[in-house]
Amino acid sequence: MEWLTMERWSPYAVGIGIGVLSWFAFLLSDRPIGCSAAFSRTSGMIERLFGGEKVLEKAYYRKFAPSVDWEWMLVLGIFVGAFLSAKLSGQLRAAWVPATWAAVFGHEPVVRWAVALMGGIVMGFGARWAGGCTSGHGISGTLQLAVSSWIAVICFFVGGVSTAMFIFEGLAN
């Protein structure tokens, strides 16, 4: 069982594994793998906690009810799966600031976390605007040959590459 404790597998082996996993998602659950709708459901659950039942009337939460569903459990599973994999390979450790970031912008966690928070807000907003993320559009949608997903994933990378280049090669210099 040495492969379970390896730090890295070939990206192709991992990709093939995810592809096969998507067969099972369609076959057993009749659903494509996706992640970002779970964040809408979570925001709805939090709003409901503070705002009460009237939150359920909001148009978006009538589409994506603020409750735990299959996809929400899948996202929880990602946390568990990555935890297990890291535990087995001895890579489980609290990391305050990622290395690439620290090398250019320093080790101050507050700075990185503030930037990450901003990025998260923009990304969460954009994911729902586009109707999916790198999983739902990027993998599950492209494999169904959906035109929307192919356009979305191209836009994800156009936006992502130009932003990362701007931050690391524009701002940093």
Partner 1 sequence: MALGLSMGIAFGFLLHKGGVTEYDVIIGQLLLRDFTVVKVMLSAMVMGKIGVYLLKGLGMAQLHPKPGSFGSTVIGGLIFGVGFGILGYCPGTMVGAVGHGALDALFGGVVGTIIGAGLFSEIYPKLERGVLRKGDFGELTLPQLLKRNHWWVIWAVGLGVVAFLLWIEKAGL
105 touches partner 1 (CB under 8 A): no
Q: How far is residue 129 from each of residues 9, 122, 123, 126, measured CA to CA in Å?
A: 34, 10, 10, 5
By CB under 8 A, residue 50 contacts partner 1 = no
At residue 148, what is the residue type?
S
Task: Please give the residues from 53 up to 92 whose contact with partner 1 meets the rule CB under 8 A.
Answer: 58-61, 68-86, 91-92
Cβ partners under 8 Å of residue 4, min gap 6:
88
Told to check if 106 binds partner 1 by CB under 8 A, we report no
- Exactly one of 2, 11, 50, 54 binds partner 1 (CB under 8 A); that residue is 11
170 binds partner 1 (CB under 8 A): no
Residues 122, 128, 129, 131, CA torsion sign: positive
Taking the complex as a whole, the smallest distance from the CB of residue 68 to partner 1 amounts, in Å, to: 8
49 binds partner 1 (CB under 8 A): no
CA nearest 114: which of 101, 127, 103, 133? Answer: 101
143: contact with partner 1 by CB under 8 A:
yes
Candidates 2, 98, 107, 170; binder of partner 1 (CB under 8 A) is 98
Name residues whose C-beta falls within 8 Å of residue 39's C-beta, 6 or more positions apart in sequence: 124, 127, 128
By CB neighbour count within 10 A (0-12 exposed, 13-18 middle, 19+ buried), where does 128 fall? Answer: middle
42 contacts partner 1 (rule: CB under 8 A): yes
Dist CA 38 CA 12 (whole Å): 27
Binding of residue 47 to partner 1 (CB under 8 A):
yes
163 is a contact residue toward partner 1 (CB under 8 A): yes
Does 108 help bind partner 1 (rule: CB under 8 A)?
no
Nearest distance, CB of residue 79 and partner 1, angstroms? 4
Q: Write out the two tokens for 132.
A: 């999916």
Does 1 bind partner 1 (CB under 8 A)? Our answer is no
Total residues binding partner 1 (CB under 8 A): 128
